[in-house]
C-alpha cells in the first residue's frame, strides 16, 4: 500500500515564511481565531486523519467500487464510518459562517486539509467536497427559508450536496439542456429530466443529499440566458427540518469509470421532483458559477494532492530499489547495485514531481490568500485586487495543476518501472484517478478559453496587468540581489513576453476570433509556468535568507528545486510561445472531411 506523510514542513514554509499567514489571518475579521497554535493543531490533526483513516481505504475502495441496488448506492466498505468520523471531528464546518453552524476560520485552512484528503483518498474526498460549493451557492443566492432548511445541515456535513449540470446530449454547452421546471403549488416546481456524471449523486454516507439542478422554465429564453437554478433534495425536509418524504429523484445507473472507483458517479433521473428556485429566474448559470468556481479550485487541489502522493512514493521506491551502478562509479559499494535514485534520469522524474508539488502548493496558497480576502476582507481596493487575481488564477489552478498532475503521476509509474504497472503498488491508481481531473468541472480547453478570452482579453488585459505589475515590482526590487540573479533575470524577460504574447493574440483576434481558441491552451500553460517561476523566485529569496539559520538542508533543497524548475521545466515556455504565435492557420485550414482521408469511417 502506498504511504503518505503530510508535507507540514513545506506547508509551514509557504504559509508562514513566504506569505506571512499569521499577519494575513490577523488582518481578517475574526482572524484572531486562526492563531498559530490553532492552525498548527488543525494541520497536524488533519494529517493524522488523512494518513490513518483515509489512506487505508484508498486501494480497497478502488478495488471494491460502489454498488447500486434498488436505486440505492452503497459506497465501499469503511467509507461511511470514515465520513462519520469526519463529521464528528467538525471538519466540514471548518471555514463556514458561524451563523450557519460553521467555525468561521479562513477558507485557506480548509484548502490545506483538502490537499491532504486528495493525496490519500481522492474518491472519498469527493463525497464531502461538493457540499462546500453547494453551501456557498445557497449562502449567496438562496432565500432565508432555503438557508434555514438546507445550509446548516450542509455545513455540519449531516447532509451532502451535488451540482447537476451535464445531460446526455450536452456537456459544457449548458444552453442545450432539456431538464424542465414547471410551476406547481406555492413556490414549488416540478423538475423533470436526466443528468449524467453526477459525482456523489447517490450514496449511503449522509442522511440526505441536496441537489442543485440547472433546468429551464416553460417560458425561458433560448440558450444559456434561459437557465434557472433549483434546489432539489433527495428527501423533502419535514416540519422539524428532518428528512421526510422521498422526492422524485433516483439514481438510474452508475458510470463504469477509468478511475475514482470509490466515488459514485451517477446518472440521476428527476421525475416530477419537487424543487425550489434559487436566485432569479433565468439567472441560474450566474448563481451556479459560485459553486463551479469553488469546484474548480477544488479540482486543482486534487491535482496537487496526487502529485504529492506520487512524489512521496516514487522517492521511497527510488531510495530502496537497487539496479545497476552509477555512471560515475559505485555509489553504494556495500550493496550489489546502487539505488536507482543515483541515476540522472530517475532524478529528473523525481525532481519534476517535487517541483510541481512545491510549486503547486505555493500557487494554491497564494490563491487561497486571495480567497480569504474576497470572502472575509473589508470592501475596498485590497478586496477588489484580490477578486481580480482570484478570477485570473482560478482557471490556472484548475487546468495547470491537473495537467502537470497527470504528468507527475505518469512519471511516478515510470520511476517504479514494471512494478508501476502492477496494481498492488498503487501507482497506476494515481494515474487513473488523475486523468479525470483534466476533464470534470470544465476541461483544460474550457479553462483556457476562460483565462484568455474572458479574464484577459475581455478586460482589455487589465486583469493580467494586476498580476504582471506585481511580478515586475518584485523583479525590480531584487534586480541587484546577487543571490537571486539566476531567477530574477529570466523571470523579468518572461513577464514582459507574457504581455507581448497577450497583445499579439488580441490583435489577431480582432481579425479572426478563431485565434483565441487556437492559442488558448498554450497560453494557459505558458501562464502556469511563468506563475510558478514567480513563486519559486520568491521561495528562493526566502530560502537564501534563511540558509544562515537552522534547517539548512531544507532551505538548500528549496534552492536546488527552484534551480531545477528554472533550468529544466521553465524552458517549456519557449515551445508554448512559439505555438501561440503560430496562430490558427494550420488548425483551421483542413476541412472536416479531409481529416479522414486515407481510411473510411
What is the predicted pLDDT for the residue at 373?
96
For 87, left (φ over 0), alpha (ψ -120 to 50), or beta? alpha
Residue 548 has pLDDT above 90, yes or no: no
The rounded mean pLDDT for the chain is: 96
Strand partners, 193: 270
Q: If we measure between CA atoms, which residue out of 375, 262, 300 comes closest to residue 115?
A: 300
What is the predicted pLDDT for the residue at 170?
85
The residue behind cell 459560485 is 290
Q: If we measure between CA atoms, which residue out of 458, 461, 440, 438 comes closest to residue 450?
A: 458
Q: Pairing state of beta strands 208-215 and 159-164?
A: parallel
Q: Where are the beta strands (DSSP E) in 17-129?
A: 67-69, 72-74
Residue 173 has pLDDT above 80, yes or no: no
Q: What is the dihedral of CA 307, 312, 316, 322, to 10 degrees?
A: 20
Domain membership flag for residue 510:
yes
List, for residues 105-131, the tens digit of each pLDDT value.
Answer: 999 999 999 999 999 999 999 999 989
List, for residues 175-205, the tens digit of each pLDDT value.
Answer: 789 999 999 988 999 999 999 999 999 999 9
Q: What span, in angstroms and rounded, lies between the C-alpha atoms of 524 and 393?
A: 10
Domain membership flag for residue 493:
yes
List, for residues 454-504, the tens digit of each pLDDT value.
Answer: 999 999 999 999 999 999 999 999 999 999 999 999 999 999 999 999 999
Q: For the chain, give me the number of helices (H) and strands (E)? A: 20, 11
What mean pLDDT do residues 138-162 have? 95
* Greater model confidence, 136 or 301: 301
List, for residues 373-431, the tens digit of each pLDDT value.
Answer: 999 888 899 999 999 999 999 999 999 999 999 999 999 999 999 999 999 999 999 99
199 alpha carbon, distance to own chain's centre? 15
Instruction: Give me the domain span that covers residue 547.
Output: 460-586
List, for residues 197-212, the tens digit of each pLDDT value.
Answer: 999 999 999 999 999 9
Domain membership flag for residue 151:
no
The residue behind cell 489571518 is 25
Domain membership flag for residue 495:
yes
Least confident of 27-41, 279-293, 447-461, 580-594: 279-293
- Give me the active site residues, please: 441
Domain membership flag for residue 548:
yes
Domain membership flag for residue 506:
yes
What phi and psi, each to the nearest 5 degrees, are found at residue 83?
-65, -40
Band of pLDDT at residue 599, cut at 50, 70 and 90: confident
Q: How many domains does the chain have?
A: 1
Three-state DSSP class for residue 408: helix
Residue 171 has pLDDT above 90, yes or no: no
Band of pLDDT at residue 149, cut at 50, 70 and 90: very high
Domain membership flag for residue 542:
yes
What mean pLDDT do residues 534-550 have? 95
Domain membership flag for residue 476:
yes
List, for residues 353-377, the tens digit of each pLDDT value.
Answer: 999 999 999 999 999 999 999 998 8
Band of pLDDT at residue 26, cut at 50, 70 and 90: very high
Amino acid at each position: 500500500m502506498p504511504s503518505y506523510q503530510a508535507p507540514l514542513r513545506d506547508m509551514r514554509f509557504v504559509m508562514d515564511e513566504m506569505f506571512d499567514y499569521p499577519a494575513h489571518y490577523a488582518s481578517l475579521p475574526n482572524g484572531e481565531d486562526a492563531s498559530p497554535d490553532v492552525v498548527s493543531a488543525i494541520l497536524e490533526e488533519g494529517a493524522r486523519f488523512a494518513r490513518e483513516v483515509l489512506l487505508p481505504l484508498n486501494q480497497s475502495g478502488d478495488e471494491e467500487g460502489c454498488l447500486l441496488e434498488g436505486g440505492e448506492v452503497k459506497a465501499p466498505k469503511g467509507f461511511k464510518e470514515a465520513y462519520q468520523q469526519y463529521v464528528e471531528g467538525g471538519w466540514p464546518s471548518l471555514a463556514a459562517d458561524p451563523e450557519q453552524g460553521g467555525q468561521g476560520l479562513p477558507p485557506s485552512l480548509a484548502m490545506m486539509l483538502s490537499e491532504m484528503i486528495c493525496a490519500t483518498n481522492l474518491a472519498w474526498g469527493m463525497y464531502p467536497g461538493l457540499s462546500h460549493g453547494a453551501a456557498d451557492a445557497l449562502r449567496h443566492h438562496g432565500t432565508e427559508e432555503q438557508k434555514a432548511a438546507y445550509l446548516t445541515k450542509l455545513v455540519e456535513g449531516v447532509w451532502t450536496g451535488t451540482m447537476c449540470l451535464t445531460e446526455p446530449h450536452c456537456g459544457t454547452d449548458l444552453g442545450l439542456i432539456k431538464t424542465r421546471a414547471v410551476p406547481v403549488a406555492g413556490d414549488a416546481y416540478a423538475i423533470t429530466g436526466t443528468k449524467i456524471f453526477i459525482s456523489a449523486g447517490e450514496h449511503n454516507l449522509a442522511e440526505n443529499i441536496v441537489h442543485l439542478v440547472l433546468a429551464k422554465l416553460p417560458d425561458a429564453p433560448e440558450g444559456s440566458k434561459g437557465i434557472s437554478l433549483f434546489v432539489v433534495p433527495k428527501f423533502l425536509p419535514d416540519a422539524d427540518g428532518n428528512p421526510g418524504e422521498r422526492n422524485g429523484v433516483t439514481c438510474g445507473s452508475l458510470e463504469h469509470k477509468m478511475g475514482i472507483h470509490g466515488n459514485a458517479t451517477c446518472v440521476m433521473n428527476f421525475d416530477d421532483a419537487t424543487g425550489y428556485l434559487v436566485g432569479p429566474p433565468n439567472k441560474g448559470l450566474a448563481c451556479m458559477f459560485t459553486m463551479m468556481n469553488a469546484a474548480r479550485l477544488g479540482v486543482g487541489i486534487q491535482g496537487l494532492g496526487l502529485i504529492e502522493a506520487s512524489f512521496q512514493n516514487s522517492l521511497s521506491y527510488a531510495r530502496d530499489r537497487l539496479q545497476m551502478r552509477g555512471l560515475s562509479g559505485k555509489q553504494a559499494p556495500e550493496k550489489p547495485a546502487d539505488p536507482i535514485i543515483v541515476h540522472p534520469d530517475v532524478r529528473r522524474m523525481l525532481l519534476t514531481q517535487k517541483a510541481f508539488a512545491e510549486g503547486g502548493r505555493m500557487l494554491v496558497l497564494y490563491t487561497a490568500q486571495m480567497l480569504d480576502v474576497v470572502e472575509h476582507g473589508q470592501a475596498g481596493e485590497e478586496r477588489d485586487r484580490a477578486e481580480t487575481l482570484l478570477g485570473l488564477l482560478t482557471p490556472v489552478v484548475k487546468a495547470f495543476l491537473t495537467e502537470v498532475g497527470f504528468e507527475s503521476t505518469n512519471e511516478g509509474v515510470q520511476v517504479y518501472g514494471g512494478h508501476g504497472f502492477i496494481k498492488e503498488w498503487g501507482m497506476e491508481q494515481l494515474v487513473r484517478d488523475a486523468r479525470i481531473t483534466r476533464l470534470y468541472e470544465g476541461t483544460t480547453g474550457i479553462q483556457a478559453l476562460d483565462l484568455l478570452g474572458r479574464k484577459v482579453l475581455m478586460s482589455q488585459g487589465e486583469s493580467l496587468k494586476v498580476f504582471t505589475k506585481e511580478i515586475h515590482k518584485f523583479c525590480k526590487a531584487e534586480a541587484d540581489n546577487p543571490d537571486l540573479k539566476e531567477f530574477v533575470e529570466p523571470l523579468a524577460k518572461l513577464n514582459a513576453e507574457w504581455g507581448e504574447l497577450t497583445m499579439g493574440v488580441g490583435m489577431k483576434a480582432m481579425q479572426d476570433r478563431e485565434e483565441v481558441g487556437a492559442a488558448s491552451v498554450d497560453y494557459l500553460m505558458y501562464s502556469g509556468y511563468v506563475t510558478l517561476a514567480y513563486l519559486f523566485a520568491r521561495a528562493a529569496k526566502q530560502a537564501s535568507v534563511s540558509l544562515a539559520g537552522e534547517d539548512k538542508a531544507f532551505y538548500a533543497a528549496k534552492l536546488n528545486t527552484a534551480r531545477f524548475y528554472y533550468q529544466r521545466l521553465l524552458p517549456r515556455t519557449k515551445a508554448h510561445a512559439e505555438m501561440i504565435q503560430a496562430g490558427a492557420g494550420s488548425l483551421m485550414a483542413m476541412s472536416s472531411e479531409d481529416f479522414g482521408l486515407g481510411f473510411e469511417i
